[in-house]
Amino acid sequence: MYAGFIVCSAAAVVAGAAVATAVTPNHRIAASVVEPPLPAESPVAATGARGWTWASGAPGYRFGHDESSWNLAKVRSAELTGARLSAASSGIRDGDLRVLNASRVAHDDLMAIVAMSAHANRTCLGFLAASVSLPFYCPDSAGAQRLGTQVAFVITDARTVSHQPYLIGIARGDVTKVVLRATSFNQPVYARAGNDSWGTFDTAFGGRFAPAGSTAGPEWLDFYSARGRIASLPLKVRPRREQLSSIPPSA
């Protein structure tokens, strides 16, 4: 499957099936469908730090367990060495690193959302953008790395030269749906009801869903709870750039 550019998402485990997608410039073509290896529950339906917990404990898939079913991005344990070092620098020294969602655009270019258990079995989230590990977010961290108030986290890969812009993300437990919005369309990309993806989602953007003969124009990712829209992320196409966005609730 590694011919040209590849995007395989570990979290296209939605409604009982995982879809691997092979990518040529500006196209994604469904390549295979496999059954998920185990239920991938959503986070607890709550606001604040409790919305970043999972009823069964630390979420995610483990290396050496049913990888043929979930590891469609061919993530290698060694590629997450930086994430383990980042976890250690955040005070997380025990427990296995688990993969919640991973997308690979090229052989050496990985986006991923990972999790580890910290003190008192509290879940911490880590992120890789352009194969570079970023600091972990934990419920007991200080400052900007404290996990709780964020509505969601999104990694965008918006390089336009070689492939369609793409993103992966994870939503807090009170988020009921996520919608990709533009002037000419509204495209659902996540629904908590019936979703088995650890609360993660992924989608192409940058005009991918614009009706024939029209352009998308500016695009946003909108996050909804039972109270209505609670946050929005403007999506921008920046060549040769991947970035992580921590999304606060709207004022």
* CA within 13 Å, CB half, 209: 18
Number of separate domains in the chain: 1
pLDDT in tens, 137-165: 999 888 889 999 999 999 998 765 557 88
Measure the CA–CA gap between 244 and 242, rounded to whole angstroms. 7
pLDDT in tens, 198-224: 999 999 888 777 787 777 688 999 999
- The whole-model pTM stands at 0.83
Range of the domain at 167: 5-247
| Closest residue by Cα to residue 75 from 54, 90, 60 | 60
Give CA separation, 241 vs 1, 64, 165, 167, 238, in Å.
24, 32, 10, 12, 6
Average pLDDT, the chain: 79
Segment 59-63 shows an average pLDDT of 90
